[in-house]
Chains A and B, each alone.
Chain A
Amino acid sequence: MGKTRISGIQLFLLITGFLLGSRLIISPASESKTDGWLSILIAGAGGILLVTMYASIALLNPSRTLVEILRDRFGKIIGTIVAISYIWYFTHLAGLVFRDFGSFLVTTTYPRTPMEVIIAIFALTIIYAVNSGIEVMGRISEILVPIVPVLSLIIGASIVTTHDFTAFLPVLENGIKPVIKASLNLLAFPFGEAVVFLMIFPHLNKMKSLIKITTFSTLSVIGLFLYIFFRNIIILESHFLDQATFVPHLTSVLFPGLNLEPLFGVIMIIAGGIKIISAIYAAVMGLSQLIGAKDYRTFTTCIVAFSVILSIWVHENIFEVFNWAGNTWFYYSIPFQFIIPLILLFLSLIKKADPKPQDL
């Protein structure tokens, strides 16, 4: 790992921006309707455990990225195969966020512009940001991520006149099953996706504060998700929450005489951008470490290009994207987010308990 370092606050904001990502434009836990707040709390508790597990793996393997840990713990052949799967997963994730971003802007702001053009223009900025390095990514998040909660609060405060404070009652009207399903989806998207940070954690300047940083990031995101959920349900009520494609956007256009729509575009560009930058950085860094390239920037353009093509290719329309994210993404993510990190944690703990002479 090189000498490039990011501070605790930069990592905190990078993780926060990443976790907010495209979940800000798709209402968190809207599948469980009025019980969304319960799903957010359950998924949040699981999210804290998951992110702490990723941080523990990083602490048990100091200065090593996910690819290096995989090759070290699983051996060269299996480790390389698993590392390739992770590089694919990170690229796929970036492609899906590109698609969310493109679909959102085409549906709400630029209906006459082809989605491919919007995604490609955004991708050029992503290439520039990733090639600028992790320090610049840290500074970008330091400047831009605080804008996201501020804008969300402004939107909430602007439309608070239209409300029904009992809209989230009765509790568990449809039973516990939809709540659990929404919790699992929210756990995998976005909390489990933080596995990407196993490629970024080694850049932190003070590793001892890692668990504190990850926990605070996750708690902030849970808080913002709860705020967004209550804002949306108080203003829209549950039947609208279930019908709208981009729920927070619908919330913003309800207020007469005040155009809050561009604020959602800004939120999407910031949070979606941070998420794509982190995923692409992880994929590019992983690939360069796997191949043994001198510089990770070697693969930035080709991985971003592939990701852009993938974003157009992967689903035919936004409804397919939502359907896939709601029904398949969790199961597809299980090995990447839960099983392999658990095995890694277990193997790292064994290695720590019984170090070989060369590890000392």
Chain B
Amino acid sequence: MIAMNYSMFIVVLLFTILTLYDLWRFVRKKESVKVLIVFIIIMVSSLIIGVLLATGRRPASPSELIDRLLKMMGVIK
């Protein structure tokens, strides 16, 4: 049984609508391909992480990775 976080779903949905609206405006304004690609990468990664969090499948966070890296380097214990 997956523990669903509905409030997280609502938040993801809200920002998806906002970013899709922005994307539509950029396409109409003929923004450069580079801008569109970077925008889509950030948008899609937010969406994927948001959905994973909402469905209770939290991936390893950047802080955990930074922690591991610093421990590997012997900076922190």
Contact = CB atoms under 8 A, between A and B. Distances in A.
Interface of A: 92, 114, 116-117, 119-120, 123, 127, 287, 291-294, 298-299, 301-306, 308-310, 312-316, 320, 324, 327-328, 331-332
A298 B34 contact: no
B7 A328 contact: no
5 contacts: A299-B39, A302-B46, A309-B12, A309-B50, A316-B58
Nearest to B34: A291
Contacts of A287: 38
Given A302-B19, A332-B70, A117 B11 contact: yes
B3 interface: no
A309 B18 CA distance: 14
Nearest to B52: A313
A118 to B, nearest CB: 10
Interface string B27-57: 0000110110011001101100110010000
A309 B62 CA distance: 12
B46 to A, nearest CB: 5
Nearest to A119: B11
Contact of A306 (B7, B22, B32, B42): B42
A313 B53 contact: yes
Nearest to B58: A313
Nearest to A299: B39
Nearest to A325: B63
Nearest to A287: B38
Q: Report, as a range, how many residues of chain B touch the other chain.
A: 35 or more
B49 A313 contact: yes
Nearest to A120: B11
B46 A305 contact: yes
A312 B19 contact: no
Contacts of B45: 306
B63 A315 contact: yes
Contact of B11 (A116, A291, A310, A320): A116
B55 to A, nearest CB: 13
A313 B34 CA distance: 27
Nearest to A114: B7
Contacts of B72: none
B12 to A, nearest CB: 8
Contact of A324 (B11, B53, B63): B63
Contact of B19 (A119, A291, A301, A331): A301
Nearest to A320: B63
A301 B18 contact: yes
A308 B15 contact: yes
A39 B1 CA distance: 49
Interface centre among A127, A308, A309 (most CB of B within 10 A): A309
Contacts of A119: 11
A298 B35 contact: yes
A291 B26 CA distance: 14
B43 A315 contact: no
Contacts of A117: 7, 10-11
Contacts of B66: 328, 332
A298 B43 CA distance: 12
Given A305-B43, A306-B42, A116 B8 contact: yes
B38 to A, nearest CB: 5
B35 to A, nearest CB: 5
Contact of B15 (A292, A299, A305): A305
Contacts of A301: 15, 18-19, 22
A353 B39 CA distance: 40
Interface in B14-28: 14-15, 18-19, 22, 26
A116 B6 CA distance: 10
